[in-house]
Amino acid sequence: MAEVRASAPRRGTNLPRMGDFNVAVILDAIRRSPDGLSRVELASVVGLAPQTVSNICRRLLDQNLIIEAGKEILGPGKPRTILVLNPKGMYAVGLHIDPTVITYAVLNLLGEVVAHRAHATDPKATPEQSMAAMAGQVLELIAESGVDQSRIAGLGVATPGPIDSRNGTVVNPPHLPGWSNVALRDTLAQATSLPVLVDKDVTAAAVAEIWTGGAIGTGSFLFLYLGTGLGCGIVINDEVVRGTSGNAGEIGHIITDPDGADCDCGRRGCIKSSCMPESLVEFAIQQGVPAEQLGATLPDQLTALAELAGAGDVRAQRVITDCARRVGNAVSVLTNFLDVERVVFGGPFWPQLSESFLREIPQVVAALSATAQVHNVEIVGSEVGQDVGAVGAACLVLEHTLSPHAEQLLLST
């Protein structure tokens, strides 16, 4: 197993007019310390003057974002008061749009789910009808959760890409026909009266892993999202990589099998044509698995395929094993290119494929690794759960609100 290193704390600045950045630095340091920190420890960790730390902590206590969690005695002198995040100090709502299922979650400041719901995606609904229904579900979930709406920092929306991050729109996602330049951010903001952030589902999943995945979500890693589509979230040195337009992680046209199935790009053996869940169902039927054994919906079909494989059906086993090896080929390309510590798999269809993937992919990646003599690449499953998209969407809000960002250091003129 690869060694997991603790995240390096961000450092503050004692220059004037940097208050917002320093507040975020201190909140981030407290968040990263599960047992809490004293003011003295905070000053040492973040590199700020003790008086600056004391002033900011007083402000955060007044805002109920942090609380005092007892005293700590370390030798002679006055006991130190330990500060931790207040779970009830802030909440965020997450909405994940998947072509198969729509999921919602309300998270507290610790990233814990306090309310959740899900429903099947209506393929016949227009984008306008879908967004109206989503907004209604969000408001119902908030009411159901019992959370004071004044404590909700915003609504995060995770959607299949590509997206236009500047305008908050989704641009012709392959598995959502009719969703052409749909103004998700503005429409949902108007309908819910909440600030709205829009990001790709794979990026949101990576953010969820950073916020709630423990040691797995530290350092440099890839998040391979297995939903109706397959995409990649990228984290380098604890920072999410979004790319110029917010669309980093589109891996659908990495060729994993030159002799594989035809792709709509004109080539053969791309991930999009040979590794997607719907492709596995098609391959299984071609191998002779009766379609009636696989059910009507994609989740049911993939579950049935996994159950057949587990029961010893050689055809089903071959389909899933071949897919795992193809994905392993693609993962090796990504890990060699980005030199990450680990690859985290998750998403709605991960449970059905996890056993075969965890058996096959590590050996493929190890055999093709360019850094095998320097470090191992760990292959693991997400600890966030199947609803990583909705959790990640809410974590987008927490990240935006609480994490230090370079733009906070820009001085206005």
Relative to beta strand 152-159, strand 163-164 is unpaired
Architecture, CATH, for domain 19-86? Orthogonal Bundle (1.10)
State the pLDDT confidence band at 181, using cuts at 50, 70 and 90.
very high
pLDDT for the residue numbered 411? 47
What is the average pLDDT across 117-123?
Answer: 93
Q: Rounded to whole angstroms, how far apart are CA atoms 249 and 238?
A: 16
Q: Which residue has the higher pLDDT, 223 or 9?
A: 223
pLDDT for the residue numbered 227? 87
What is the average pLDDT across 379-389?
Answer: 89
HSE-CB for 95 with a 13 A CA cutoff: 30
HSE-CB for 325 with a 13 A CA cutoff: 8
State the pLDDT confidence band at 315, using cuts at 50, 70 and 90.
very high
Place of tokens 């998750």: 346
Which amino acid is residue 162, in one-letter code?
Answer: P
- C-alpha torsion angle, residues 388, 178, 100, 157 (rounded to 10): 20
Of the candidates 325, 293, 322, the one whose C-alpha atom is nearest the C-alpha of residue 307 is 293
What is the average pLDDT across 321-347?
Answer: 96
pLDDT for the residue numbered 4? 35
Inform me whether the pLDDT recorded for 73 exceeds 70: no
State the pLDDT confidence band at 214, using cuts at 50, 70 and 90.
confident
pLDDT for the residue numbered 31? 87
Q: Rounded to whole angstroms, how far apart are CA atoms 129 and 116?
A: 21
| Sequence-distant (≥ 6) Cβ neighbours of residue 74 within 8 angstroms | 80
pLDDT for the residue numbered 18? 39
Cβ 326 vs Cβ 338: under 8 Å: no
Inform me whether the pLDDT recorded for 289 exceeds 80: yes
Q: Examine domains 19-86 and 91-207+390-402 and report if their fold is the same.
A: no
What is the CATH T-level fold of the domain 91-207+390-402, as seen in this structure? Nucleotidyltransferase; domain 5 (3.30.420)
Inform me whether the pLDDT recorded for 377 exceeds 80: yes
Place of tokens 């206590």: 61
pLDDT for the residue numbered 155? 97
Inform me whether the pLDDT recorded for 105 exceeds 70: yes
Pick the CATH number of 215-383 from 3.75.10.10, 3.40.30.10, 3.30.420.40, 3.40.190.10: 3.30.420.40
Inform me whether the pLDDT recorded for 412 exceeds 70: no
State the pLDDT confidence band at 228, using cuts at 50, 70 and 90.
confident
Tens of pLDDT along 259-277? Answer: 888 998 999 999 999 999 9
Relative to beta strand 80-85, strand 66-72 is antiparallel
Helix axes 127-145, 184-192, angle to 10 degrees: 40
Q: How many CB atoms lie within 10 A of CB 266?
A: 8
What is the average pLDDT across 8-23?
Answer: 55
Q: What is the mean pLDDT of the chain?
A: 89
Q: Which residue has the higher pLDDT, 362 or 227?
A: 362
Inform me whether the pLDDT recorded for 3 exceeds 60: no
State the pLDDT confidence band at 405, using cuts at 50, 70 and 90.
low
pLDDT for the residue numbered 260? 87
| Sequence-distant (≥ 6) Cβ neighbours of residue 10 within 8 angstroms | 25, 28, 29, 46, 404
Tens of pLDDT along 232-255? Answer: 999 999 889 999 999 999 999 999
What is the average pLDDT across 378-389?
Answer: 90
What is the average pLDDT across 84-102?
Answer: 94
Q: 299-313: string of b/e by CB count within 10 Å (b at 16+)? A: bebbbbbbebbeeeb
Domain boundaries, the chain: 19-86, 91-207+390-402, 215-383
What is the average pLDDT across 311-330?
Answer: 96
